[in-house]
Structure 1
């Protein structure tokens, strides 16, 4: 039986000889397509074409320019009927809120005994 295991191991060795060795990372022998890809990445990095590789200031400036451009386009376009109606409703709501704030401020300025007297008058008129 020992002889049979020795034969198997020699058979395994002969099959290992046909298998090519693995390349190590960073080896100088690289495929041409990988070299081209690496060269392209280096060039684009030097030019700053990759968005993630751009300095933060450049990214912020580009975003600001895009936002300004969008705002200018929106200003040029005539607002739709829906937008105008929404603006009207928003203005009415703001006016109502301001009026409510004014009313509360006026209520606070009135002395308490006057408010109590008004409340009593109202309750008396409702009871009659």
Structure 2
């Protein structure tokens, strides 16, 4: 009996005639920019300077600032703040009323506006 290997091989083909497949080059690894970036990342990693990582001092300061903002949000507003907020609301309401009044005056014909601005003239009966 013949072995399976002998059956599949044909006597016409020799091992030297076949084209041997080659591994294709990786364009990312062949790129000079990619190599330099990879070296820089390795260097920074060894030194502890990872990209997109904030310094420790900056992180601590941001945490303190966030903590202060949370405390201010939870604390009750002072009397001055309450009065200032009320005053601001009154001013906004007044400005809205003025805007509405000016818009309504613009819609009125001109002769009616002029008539309203004239002084009342007293008429004497003889």
What TM-score comes out, normalization by structure 2 length?
Answer: 0.45
Larger radius of gyration: 2
Kindly indicate which of the two structures has a greater share of residues assigned to helix: 1
